[in-house]
Structure 1
Amino acid sequence: MPNTRNPEKWLFRGRPDDDGAPLVLCFPYAGAGASVFRGWPDSIKAGTVAPLQPPGRENRFSEPPFDTHVEYAADLGRYLAGLGDRETVYFAHCGGVPFALETIVWLVDNGHRPPRKLVASSWGPPHVDLYGGLNKVDLDTHDFVAEVQEVQSRLGNPGVPVELARIGAKALRQEVVVHRPWLFDACKTVPCPVDALAWSEDDVVPPHEAVNERWREVADVDLRTLPGSHWEFVSCPESLELLLAE
């Protein structure tokens, strides 16, 4: 795999127009790419929808993934800084939350504007633990191929061929490895408001974990719960659209 990355591919739907419209930057969950947001419209009340495409995924499959959250944040942060001083809102789901948090910290540390807010979906207090059973499995014995097939089945794509699932499993395992040593620095405060979002029927990161009061130790946070399962976000339901616009 070549050791080159094309930062112009960060925004899956292309570089936004220079109209100054707010951007809704969407961080996919662990191992996933921008296509998980294909059910979102081009524009919602909060602004232009801009799904992020990490390297090593989909149309960036040939690019090496990042080995640390800091590398990810610096590369994305430099790209976002080049878009100018425009309003943004961040939406991050599950394993995308750590990357969103580190990107926000990088932007502020380097003199750039933070997002208006972060909606952190299905992730608990980031300085306390990692969330979701996948972050606790034995990396040597867990069947990541079966994991990918199960997730795709839940998303309405049953019967993913093993050969295709193996590709997704490699990306998923690599990102789980990256997450293992990470916790948000408890000495810091997230430099933008946060909506910690739980889904009422979430069986991956249950509501009592996602809207835990300990979020308040590191963020100016609102604890919110919306109806639906762990995967409800993929269709951008009206309740989520309204939350992003608040």
Structure 2
Amino acid sequence: MDIRNMAPNRGGMQQAASWFFRSSPTAEMRIRLFCFPCAGYGAAMYRAWQSQAPAWLEIVPVQPPGRANRLAEPPLDSFPELVRSILPELSTLTDRPYAFFGHSMGAVFASELASEIVRQEMHAPMHLFLSARQPPNLPSPVGPLSHLDDMTFVEEVNKRYGGIPREIIEAPEVLELLLPTLKADIRTLERIERATPRRLPVAISALGGKDDRLVPEHLLAGWGSWTEQDFRLQMFDGGHFYLEDQRSALILHIQDVLEAKMPAAATPSSP
């Protein structure tokens, strides 16, 4: 977990709306892939995806409040709040086939948002790619964190996930700025544990790292009970953050899944 990705970032991606960062859409882009970050990350997590994706796939990174360009906004600490906040803006971008990818916390966010979209009988995503997180009806294999004092919290987060640089740990003013959002993210996950499972009319791919000690394969397999359609389980070399080293292989896998569905998707109008 690298909380440097929560710091303000004023370059790189063009902001289309407060929740989304988009590159300039083209007529070739036939499917949108909304990418939800894990706890402690923001849209910058998926910046490199935009240049690696095929021309027909629009990568749309999601930027929750409380980080980067939204650092001044209070973070939200429940999935119902997150879903209610993002849904109005998302609904303006579902005019063409779309899918969700979510890593760790982002996987739960994507599944909860998809559940609400289905409940409201809106245009549902064509596929869910849920990475490195068990479904929320299954208990977490590790204990809660959000109640800990700041330094104990930082130490425990670093022990479980890694990635908090020493220079940030030794900079109290930076920690004071960033920790409220990171704690809110962790609290959000803790509040949804043991939630009621859903049955979604959307195909699901569960993805993970073969060496992920936090979310092993048998926990990822729990997503199979959440879909009424096809379920796939795909493991990659690496640990909890396998997608950093396996980015090309992961994007290719997503591309293959979505490309196979493209003939059945309606041809979108030009952006």
Query: TM-score with structure 2 length normalisation?
Result: 0.74
CA distance, structure 2, for counterparts of residue 90 and residue 153 of structure 1: 26
Contact 1:145 1:166 in 2 (8 A): no
Name the residue aligned to 2:247.
237
Name the residue aligned to 1:140.
148
SS in 2 for 1:198: strand
Runs of 4+ residues over 4 Å off in structure 1: 14-20, 147-153
Contact 1:200 1:207 in 2 (8 A): yes
Q: Aligned-pair distance for 1:241? A: 1.1
Contact 2:78 2:187 in 1 (8 A): no
SS in 2 for 1:159: helix
Name the residue aligned to 1:99.
109
1:60 to 70, 73, 97: 70
**Identical positions, percent:** 26
Tell me which protein shows more helix as a share of its residues: 2
Q: For structure 1, which runs of at least 5 residues remain unmatched after alignment?
A: 1-5
Aligned amino acid, residue 93 of structure 2: L
Structure whose alpha-carbon radius of gyration is higher: 2
What is the alpha-carbon root mean square deviation over aligned residues?
A: 2.9
Q: In the superposition, relative to structure 1, how do residues 184 and 242 fare at CA in structure 2: closer, same or farther (>3 Å)?
A: farther
CA distance, structure 2, for counterparts of residue 169 and residue 63 of structure 1: 14
SS in 2 for 1:26: strand
CA distance, structure 2, for counterparts of residue 231 and residue 67 of structure 1: 23
Aligned amino acid, residue 217 of structure 2: P
SS in 1 for 2:213: coil
Contact 2:145 2:153 in 1 (8 A): no
Q: In the superposition, relative to structure 1, how do residues 122 and 92 fare at CA in structure 2: closer, same or farther (>3 Å)?
A: same
Name the residue aligned to 2:89.
79
Name the residue aligned to 1:35.
44
Q: In the superposition, relative to structure 1, how do residues 168 and 203 fare at CA in structure 2: closer, same or farther (>3 Å)?
A: farther
Q: Aligned-pair distance for 1:117? A: 0.9
Contact 1:148 1:169 in 2 (8 A): no
Q: For structure 2, which runs of at least 5 residues remain unmatched after alignment?
A: 1-14, 258-271
Structure 1 residues 1-246: aligned runs within 5 Å? 8-13=17-22, 16=25, 21-42=30-51, 44-45=53-54, 47-130=57-140, 133=142, 136-137=144-145, 139-141=147-149, 143-146=152-155, 154=163, 159-160=167-168, 161-162=170-171, 163-182=173-192, 183-186=194-197, 188-211=198-221, 214-219=222-227, 220=229, 221-234=231-244, 237-245=247-255, 246=257
Farther-moved stretch of structure 1 (174-183 vs 234-243)? 234-243
Q: In the superposition, relative to structure 1, how do residues 195 and 84 fare at CA in structure 2: closer, same or farther (>3 Å)?
A: closer
Contact 1:104 1:191 in 2 (8 A): no
Q: Aligned-pair distance for 1:25? A: 0.9
Aligned amino acid, residue 64 of structure 1: P
SS in 2 for 1:23: strand
